[in-house]
Structure 1
Amino acid sequence: MDFSSKPLAERTRPQLLDDLIGQEHLVGKNGVLRRAIESGSIPSMILWGPPGVGKTTIANIIANAVKAPFFTLSAISSGVKEIRDVIQRAKFQSNTILFIDEIHRFNKGQQDALLGAVEKGDITLIGATTENPSFEVNSALLSRSQVYTLKNLSKEDLTRLVEVALEKDDILNKKKVTLKETQALFNISGGDARKLLNLLDLVVENIGGDKVTVTDEQVINIAQQRVATYDKSGDQHYDIISAFIKSIRGSDPNAAVYYLARMIEGGEDVKFIARRLVILASEDIGNANPTALVIATNAFQAVNMIGYPEGRIILSQAVTYLASSPKSNAAYMAINHAQNLVQKTGDLPVPLPIRNAPTKLMKEEGYGKGYKYSHDFPGNFVNQEFLPDEIKGTTLYDPGKNAREEEMRKRLKAMWKEKYGY
């Protein structure tokens, strides 16, 4: 391919570790991935993170750094045959690296085809995924790989990406591009570096001329002129799933089932859709309607057994139920607050009365002493301290303003009126 015809994201893709923007926790001065790359000791790994944050770039940087034979497969278009071909070639080349994009789309058989080669060290696997590998990568393969979590790029990272592109890309340099405004570029790209750079490239090309000034209005107008086609491997995939989730969260069953149809017609993986519904049932509905999680989980199991085309009916039932359900993100916010508290306060000592006391020495040290067994008291409840002393009285779960959680609030208030702010 002629270099000038490549998308901007490819023309400016970093080749060296020091040129990578973002992911400081992995590739910064003391980053664990930097140490591995600089030592030349590359483990099999899964790079997990949102789209456009550097997974493919990191894989390429690793290949360049260790000067190893490097093969790339896409889980969308490759199967067991392609995997076996690479493994066969790897037997005659040492330190072979196999990069598999969207590895979560490989089924169990395809993942099993990789396992032996990874175990024997015939290949070093680098898998990239936007999905939680705990659910989408089989346990045997996962246990033989390091999982590195990539973070969303900050606004500063995205700004720097654009600055580097304007500075180093010959095509943009010739057109003397000036960015008068960047907010629309950032909003439309949604934190995806590849999408951001390619949108900038599209806007510059459409404006034309020797001197180009980019404004928010121009970006919006040009972006809206693009024909929207569903591509389950590209940007539209993420736009549609975003609209789908937000429609359910916003209690609009009509919009939700429309976007469901867009995904079905586009050939979207049935498990991908169903898994999103399970997450949403807890994140956006939670205790406002606990049955939502039951419906979503059963739908996930059912469509896995049935598949398309009949699975579409099950998905439609689940989607319209979840969209029509009362909503609450109280459980989701509770775990966020709790994790933030743990990160701030560290490993606080567990109160002695509720510690486990399996040995005589522990009992002598006071472990378990003073614990009150709730079922020995009226209403199966007795007021006692469970949180560490340093954070006692901290309210983390705030029930939502809906019928079910208001009942929970009343019950909690009756029991803990002197301790928590219910």
Structure 2
Amino acid sequence: MTNQHTPLAERMRPKTLSDVIGQTHLLGDDAPIARMIASGHLPSLILHGEAGIGKTTLARLLAHAVGREFHLLSALDLTVKELRELIERGAGTGGLDFGAPVIFIDEIHRFNKAQQDALLGAVESGKITLIGATTENPSFSVNNALLSRCQVYRLNPLTTDELTAVLQRALNQDPFIRHIQVQGELGKIATLASGDARKALNLLEIACQNANNGTLTIDDTLIKTIAQTVLPRYDRAGDMHYDVISAFIKSVRGSDPDAAIYWLARMLHAGEDPAFIGRRLVILASEDIGLANPNALLLADTALRSVQSIGMPEARIILAQATVYLATSPKSNSTYTAINEALAFVQQDNSPVPLHLRNGVTELMKAQGYGAGYIYPHDYPNHYHPQQYLPDALVGKRFYDFADNQKEQASFAFINWLKGNMNESR
């Protein structure tokens, strides 16, 4: 029985699918899960998404909607033996269409291969209906055999409007806080929750403790007070780590310094290793800026070394400088493309090195023609003389194309000038 000591998030847990706010891409009219429930058929599922967006609640409601027995298990403390015993107990209830029990496994990505394999036969035969929940990308954390037997659905973080609706419903329905009158915008509390309904309700519960004579005033002072309890939504070993660094890289590549600084701040606030960020900047400087601004690589490398020697909090300044410099630099991936094309080409090519390019370090080598006919460029004006450098079969093959930025076009003009063909165009 719930009481005022039960957390508000638990008190407001939806009782039916119609109570669920959000996830309309799955639960809306004619959406995939809505169609399943309408047909009375519930297949095995993997629910993927961040914490606090309703995976456990949805699994429970789905089982209830089709009249199935529901078992909630945690991957943290379940053994293979216990899992097999539960499967055998459920086997007597028949196949999927005859009420197979729903086994919900939270954090299924923490199951090892043996534990996941133990589920395969039961899922395939219909002894159980599996609903697994994971905050990790199931493509990487759930083995392919089990994944192929389940339908995978991504749950989305709730929007600010959806979270505001969750908070308003709590204020309307919860017997312990519905007497409180709110002055100000609930959306300010919803914004702090970053798409997490559980967090939003927890923040509302904290805020209600600041109500004065039954009135809750949502102002900057209150928001600052409850914001101190908010932990960043970030996992240095999980999806959020990869998602945020991906957004950071794409913002620098896309020449958006404001977005790049924002994602940098998100990582630093969450405690990301500054050296990891520095290494990514070094890669960025070469992959995405390259010859359009060769100094970018020098600055990024210097930033990485400085970050490693100085550490936080001062390292944030160095990383910010390097981030803005790279974001506002001209971009080129010409060398990145060139080396990738060359690497792909040499997988199918093993052309011999032309004799004139080989180093004749012994008399026998010289007698065999090693180095014969090689032209030493420094002996000629402008330190250049035409000469074949590719293998015979590859003469004329091009891997590098000058990009359309000022520095590479200047190099293009210089090479043409060297060759005495200023009008050549690539």
| Residue 143 of structure 1 pairs with residue 148 of structure 2 | yes
Distance 1:410 1:21 in 2: 58
Please state how far the C-alpha of 1:145 moved relative to its aligned partner: 0.3
Please state how far the C-alpha of 1:135 moved relative to its aligned partner: 0.5
| Residue 100 of structure 1 pairs with residue 105 of structure 2 | yes
User: For residues 338-396 of structure 1, what are the alpha-carbon distances to aligned partners after superposition, in whole Å with 9 as ceiling and x for unaligned?
Assistant: xxxxxxxxxxxxxxxxxxxxxxxxxxxxxxxxxxxxx89663589xxxxxxxxxxxxxx
2:166 to 149, 152, 161: 161
Q: Is the 8 A contact 1:181 1:214 kept in 2?
A: yes
Counterparts in 2 of 1:290 and 1:220: CA distance versus 1, 3 Å:
same
Please state how far the C-alpha of 1:219 moved relative to its aligned partner: 3.3
Q: Is the 8 A contact 1:26 1:33 kept in 2?
A: yes
Q: Is the 8 A contact 1:102 1:129 kept in 2?
A: yes
Specify which structure has the higher proportion of helix.
Answer: 1
Counterpart secondary structure, 1:259: coil
Counterparts in 2 of 1:234-383, with a 5 A limit? 236=231, 238-239=233-234, 241=236, 259=271, 287-289=284-286, 379=398
- 1:25 match: 25
Using the size of structure 2 for normalisation, the TM-score is 0.58
User: For residues 112-136 of structure 1, what are the alpha-carbon distances to aligned partners after superposition, in whole Å with 9 as ceiling and x for unaligned?
Assistant: 2222221221111111112111001
Counterparts in 2 of 1:239 and 1:119: CA distance versus 1, 3 Å:
same
Counterparts in 2 of 1:257 and 1:151: CA distance versus 1, 3 Å:
closer
Distance 1:411 1:53 in 2: 54
| Residue 196 of structure 1 pairs with residue 200 of structure 2 | yes
**Bigger radius of gyration among the two:** 2
Please state how far the C-alpha of 1:240 moved relative to its aligned partner: 6.2
Counterparts in 2 of 1:107 and 1:211: CA distance versus 1, 3 Å:
same
Structure 2 residue identity aligned to 1:62: L
Distance 1:113 1:62 in 2: 23
Please state how far the C-alpha of 1:186 moved relative to its aligned partner: 2.5
- 1:359 match: none
Q: Is the 8 A contact 1:243 1:259 kept in 2?
A: no
Q: Is the 8 A contact 2:160 2:187 kept in 1?
A: no
Distance 2:57 2:76 in 1: 19
Counterparts in 2 of 1:410 and 1:29: CA distance versus 1, 3 Å:
farther
Structure 1 residue identity aligned to 2:11: R
Counterparts in 2 of 1:171 and 1:81: CA distance versus 1, 3 Å:
farther
| Residue 112 of structure 1 pairs with residue 112 of structure 2 | no
Over the aligned positions, Cα root-mean-square deviation in angstroms equals: 4.7
Counterpart secondary structure, 1:46: strand
Counterpart secondary structure, 1:170: coil
- 1:347 match: none
Counterparts in 2 of 1:205 and 1:258: CA distance versus 1, 3 Å:
closer
Distance 2:410 2:54 in 1: 48
1:212 to 200, 213, 216: 216
Using the size of structure 1 for normalisation, the TM-score is 0.58
Distance 1:131 1:412 in 2: 47
| Structure 2 gaps, min length 5 | 94-98, 250-259, 289-307, 329-393, 415-426
Distance 1:409 1:182 in 2: 55
User: For residues 73-118 of structure 1, what are the alpha-carbon distances to aligned partners after superposition, in whole Å with 9 as ceiling and x for unaligned?
Assistant: 1223433344234223212334100111221122222212222221
- 2:138 match: 133
- 2:6 match: 6
Counterparts in 2 of 1:240 and 1:125: CA distance versus 1, 3 Å:
closer
- 1:80 match: 80
Q: Is the 8 A contact 1:111 1:138 kept in 2?
A: yes
Deviates more, 1:181-190 or 1:208-217: 208-217
- 2:380 match: none
Counterpart secondary structure, 2:29: coil
